Amino acid sequence: MTAAEPDILIAGATGFVGTAVLRELVGRGMGPRVRVLVRRRVPQWMTDAGVTTWTGDLTQASTLAGLCTGITTLVHLASQVGGDPAGCTAVNEGGTANLLAEARLAGTSSVLYLSTCAVYRDGAHRGAPVPGEEKPAGRSGLGAGSGMTADQGVPAGWGWRGGARLAAEQGPPTSRRGPAEGVLRVGGSGGGSGLKTDPAPPADSGRTGECPGAEPGAAADLGPPATRPGPAGVHLRTGPDLVLDPASPTSRSRLAGERLVLAAGGIVLRPHLIHGPGDRHVVPALVRWIQAVPAWAAGGAARTSLVAVADLAAAIAVLALDPGLSRPGEVLHVADPQPVRIRGLVTAVCGLLDLPLPVADLPLAEHRARTRAALPSLTDHQYSLLTRDHWYESSRIWELTGVTPRPRLAEAADWYRESVGR
């Protein structure tokens, strides 16, 4: 292979996460090794870095013919967030099937797919590991064992042998963003972030007594138990785990995309809340929420998992360059190892953007009623993400990649001030 022969394909390279991943690879001198699938002209910095482009559309298989020629690793970061259900299915499920069909024809050996923790049924998630049955050790690759659990089965005809097809009528290729649909879609270095993390409590904390973020006297919502280590390369289930039961058409179609990737022996990444330059969901929506209802919800005690887009991008870059670090068919949570209380996140954001902190503290029922009146588009599920624990065990991704996540909120100060008009 010469420097002019790309062997890494990125779909979604102009999106929030994709841009960060491409910058990370370019920063490592890997620009000439990268081909990007795009629908429009790319920024000049990509061309200057030696990145090659392929113009095509995930939902139009004919535009992808030959896309994966010479490609050994497919990094699939493209998705449609929101919009009509048919459009989500066409992009997130059908588009993934189209990409995988091309990868198979070209002999592409590895696939890395960016999904979301929004594929889980809503509830109190406290230090939850990836739902785990047996996951065999070995190098990843198309055609390898998928390591899928029983509830991740792929409908007949959707794996390599069945070929690619769209599961629903194709919708317009709009609003293809990163994996943050689980958050609110409403209408420097560590020391300078202003964001303090909590030491991660045990995975079974909060199983008796009151639940963080709940009204006084409310029974705790039991979080899933941890898994116990089994033989080398295997995690064994010790009890009920997170349940794959997404609430939105976006998340349902992304879970369908996951299943296709896992059936092909690919790797799936599930982050929760992603922040940083380019974020149009997490912090902007949080600002709208606290401006509409300037009061704490049950003290802001709920914990959540965050990850800086720069750290997520660094981990993806490492796996793209050496996909054999992970097991075939493996699913990985991606979050800072330490959860953050919503109160701490709001305090940090308000300090960063010179916004007044909430003063009042309301019980959840009253706070929900006020939020419903002020932000009627905010769903119960989205409200739950702000007021109940949603944090995930994520140590394996950092152990595999050697990336050390750190607080980076302050690094995006200029972006957030511009995006929220401060």
* Amino acid 407: pLDDT: 87
* Amino acid 24: pLDDT: 97
- Asked if 15 and 309 count as a contact pair (C-beta separation under 8 A), the reply is no
Percent of the chain with pLDDT over 70: 73
Query: pLDDT band for position 65 (50/70/90)?
Result: very high
* Amino acid 128: pLDDT: 86
pLDDT digits (tens, 9 = 90+) for 122-162: 999 999 899 863 333 343 445 433 333 333 333 232 233 22
pLDDT digits (tens, 9 = 90+) for 386-409: 999 999 999 999 999 999 999 899
Q: Average pLDDT, whole number, for the chain?
A: 79
Phi, psi of 126 (to 5 degrees): -125, 100
Most distant CA pair in the chain: distance in Å?
A: 66
Domain holding 95: CATH number? 3.40.50.720
* Amino acid 134: pLDDT: 34
Is residue 310 in some structural domain? yes
Q: What is the mean pLDDT of residues 358-374?
A: 96
- Asked if 288 and 382 count as a contact pair (C-beta separation under 8 A), the reply is no
Is residue 266 in some structural domain? yes
Looking at per-residue pLDDT, the higher value among 145 and 255 belongs to: 255
What order of strands is seen across the sheet that includes strand 8-11? 52-55, 34-38, 8-11, 73-76, 110-114, 267-271, 331-334
Count of domains for the chain: 1
Return d(Cα 10, Cα 30) in angstroms, integer. 13
Q: What is the mean pLDDT of residues 281-310?
A: 96
Return d(Cα 248, Cα 80) in angstroms, integer. 12
Looking at per-residue pLDDT, the higher value among 97 and 141 belongs to: 97
Instruction: Please name which of 47, 53, 48 lies closest in space to residue 10, comparing C-alpha atoms.
Output: 53
Query: pLDDT band for position 421 (50/70/90)?
Result: confident
Return d(Cα 112, Cα 98) in angstroms, integer. 15
Looking at per-residue pLDDT, the higher value among 190 and 55 belongs to: 55
Q: What is the mean pLDDT of residues 40-48?
A: 93
pLDDT at residue 69 greater than cutoff 70: yes
Degrees to nearest 5, angle at CA 8 with 331 and 234: 25
Is residue 3 in some structural domain? no
* Amino acid 197: pLDDT: 58
Lowest mean pLDDT: which of 4-18, 24-38, 61-75? 4-18
Instruction: Please name which of 291, 304, 266, 309 lies closest in space to residue 140, comparing C-alpha atoms.
Output: 266
Instruction: Please name which of 84, 76, 70, 36 lies closest in space to residue 56, comparing C-alpha atoms.
Output: 36
Percent of the chain with pLDDT over 90: 67
- Domain of residue 169: give its range: 8-419
Is residue 2 in some structural domain? no
Is residue 317 in some structural domain? yes
Looking at per-residue pLDDT, the higher value among 204 and 124 belongs to: 124
- Asked if 251 and 119 count as a contact pair (C-beta separation under 8 A), the reply is yes
Is residue 1 in some structural domain? no
Return d(Cα 188, Cα 194) in angstroms, integer. 10
Is residue 46 in some structural domain? yes
Is residue 238 in some structural domain? yes
Please give the model's pTM, rounded to 2 decimal places: 0.79
* Amino acid 83: pLDDT: 86
Return d(Cα 415, Cα 277) in angstroms, integer. 6
pLDDT at residue 305 greater than cutoff 50: yes
* Amino acid 118: pLDDT: 94
3-state secondary structure the chain: CCCCCCCEEEECCCCHHHHHHHHHHHHCCCHHHEEEEECCCCCHHHHHCCCEEEECCCCCHHHHCCCCCCCCEEEECCCCCCCCHHHHHHHHHHHHHHHHHHHHHHCCCEEEEECCHHHECCCCEEEECCCCCCCCCCCCCCCCCCCCCHHHCCCCCCCHHHCCCCCCCCCCCCCCCCCCCCCCCCCCCHHHCCCCCCCCCCCCCCCCCCCCCCCCCCCCCCCCCCCEECCCCCEECCCCCCCECCCCHHHHHHHHHHHHHHHCCCEEEEECEEECCCCCCHHHHHHHHHHHCCEEEHHHCCEECEEEHHHHHHHHHHHHHCHHHCCCCCEEEECCCCCEEHHHHHHHHHHHHCCCCCCEEECHHHHHHHHHHHCCCCCHHHHHHHHCCEEECCHHHHHHHCCCCCCCHHHHHHHHHHHCCC
Give the tokens for residue 56.
Answer: 């095509």
Return d(Cα 421, Cα 71) in angstroms, integer. 42
Give the tokens for residue 172.
Answer: 């317009």
